[in-house]
Copies of this chain bind each other. A is one copy, B any other.
């Protein structure tokens, strides 16, 4: 869970836009589905999470609904990433984007499987770019996977990325000193992007989580004492 000592997640978002509660609810559901609902800290569902969107209606200007949706998405995704960053005992934030899926549901399944995997999370704590564990999680996620066309890259989210698997072929990073050095820098950063291209469709999804550390175990094994 996110903060077992205090409460579960409570988010309050305010806007001065003049929009009806029906429109706000529709926009919020869309934004929540691609932000808060894509956070996995440990896979244990929290008990009373709440996201409230409150509009005062005080803005004099008319609002473009697409602009509003984009702005709301941005706010919700930023808040979601803060939760992942603040995961119990976390030392690293992990962003997993699965693209090239057959459909949106399968992209979500695959992204969440990777970000939930204890083995992937523990490997990232140890700065180990363990492509096998990532591909395994994608494989058991329930998404359709063709190993011959799957690609995988790791990125620092700031422009540097290293391809580990390209259309089913493993790239040996250790033969190139510069690439090995860059990969090591990515793995030792505090935010790491995992980019999986399933190569079998056009759907994509992004999920956020964090590494699994001895800190997580300590917090959750000893918090009552």
Contacts and interface: CB of A to CB of B under 8 A. Distances in A.
Interface in A194-225: 212-214, 216-225
Nearest to A219: B122
Nearest to A4: B119
A133 interface: yes
A128 B139 CA distance: 35
B221 A123 contact: yes
Contacts of A45: 136, 139-140
B128 A224 contact: yes
Q: Which DSSP category, helix, strand, loop or mixed, fits chain A's interface?
A: helix
Interface string A132-165: 0100110110000000000000000000000000
Contact of A44 (B118, B128, B216, B223): B118
A220 B125 CA distance: 9
A59 B126 CA distance: 53
A117 interface: yes
Copies of the polypeptide in the assembly: 2
A103 interface: no
A69 interface: no
Interface in A95-137: 116-119, 122-123, 125-126, 128, 130, 133, 136-137
A42 B216 CA distance: 15
A42 B43 CA distance: 11
Contacts of A128: 221, 224
A1 interface: yes
B220 A119 contact: yes
Nearest to A127: B221
Contacts of A1: 119
A61 interface: no
Interface of A: 1, 4, 42-45, 47, 116-119, 122-123, 125-126, 128, 130, 133, 136-137, 139-140, 212-214, 216-225
